[in-house]
Amino acid sequence: MDEGTILVTGGTGFVGVSCIIRLLADGTRVRTTVRDLTRADDLRELVRLGGADPDGVEVVAADLLDDAGWPEAVAGVTHVLHVASPFPVRQPKDEDELIAPAREGVLRVLSAARDAGVRRVVQTSSFAAIGYGRRNPGRAYTEEDWTDPDGPGVTPYIRSKTLAERAAWQFIDREGGGLELATVNPVGIFGPAIGTDLSTSLELLRQLLDGGYPVVPNGSVSAVDVRDVADLHVLAMRHPDAAGERFLAVSGDAITYLDLSRFLRDRLGERARRAPTRVIPDWVVKAGAPFSRELRLMASELGRRGDASHGKATRMLGWTPRSREEAILASAESLLDLGLVRA
């Protein structure tokens, strides 16, 4: 494939910088966006920490909530990996804090890309746009499934990812011109931390290792390694059959929080001695839910499993992810090595 410069939006994020590192390994020219150019040096340091040469990255300023900067960001670009989107540790009081940047941002990027003659955009969506707001289908979720944004248990983050992806597909159908779109829908993203500004999944793991959670809820989490997520973005960008397709990024079945904690204790020994060994009773979570946003979120997930299949990505693109255990262990060991867990 004849590749020119690739734009990666949101380059300072966990997935964004991993995509940059992945592209640089192929010798690809990379441009990336940050909201403020004062973050440019931080971004280059993250690229260096990830083992790549930051001199191969051009950094430009563009904000998802502002038209300024996007025509310049996509100028001369052949493909865009649109990764930028907010993912909070805590749910905001005003859901528009998430929905507006996600939905308006993707439309800005798609519009600018279309006008600049970009061939394909790969949007980082989420399992959040697939597996919520409806009854569990009784099987592993696939790309055919869609979240009901008005369904039960749908948080502002889940709604934002669903509405943003819906808006992207509608744009392509109605006014995309020759622009192609593919989406990557990851579950919980683990893998080696790059720097100390942690993603939500890595912060969860840090809290488990650090004793921040004396007990865990009756729920589960699915996992995928960030390096495999970056690989899938690049495959979806390059493969001729990926246009118009969604791809779930997941490695194996979901794991309960208790089993996750036990796994950490088993593999890390004394270094994971603070990981919890008990499950908080459901009734306690439900009783506290009216008084705590965190407990309300927890209550909506009680007993829930989100098993999902990566069969489509493997079959169509040849994508083979690392195991769930390898992704989680790489995360935990990196957090320990970075000194982010108490000795």
Catalytically active residues, by annotation: 161
CA atoms within 13 A on the CB side of 49: 18
Whole-number Å distance between alpha carbons of 222 and 162: 18
Structural element, H or E, at residue 324: helix 324-337
CA dist 222 → 28, 218, 312, 327 (Å): 31, 14, 17, 11
CA dist 61 → 17, 70, 241 (Å): 16, 8, 32
The closest of 332, 310, 341, 304 to 153, measured between CA atoms, is 304
Whole-number Å distance between alpha carbons of 33 and 82: 10
The closest of 220, 330, 338 to 268, measured between CA atoms, is 330
Burial 207-232 (b: 16+ CB within 10 A, else e): bbbeeebeebbbbbbbbbbbbbbbbb
Q: Is the CA virtual torsion 191, 194, 200, 203 positive or negative?
A: positive
N residues, the chain: 343
| Residue 300 contacts residue 151 (beta carbons within 8 Å) | no
Strand pairing report for 246-249 and 180-186? parallel
Q: Token digits for 145? A: 């499934």
Give the SS3 label for residue 190: strand
| Residue 281 contacts residue 216 (beta carbons within 8 Å) | no
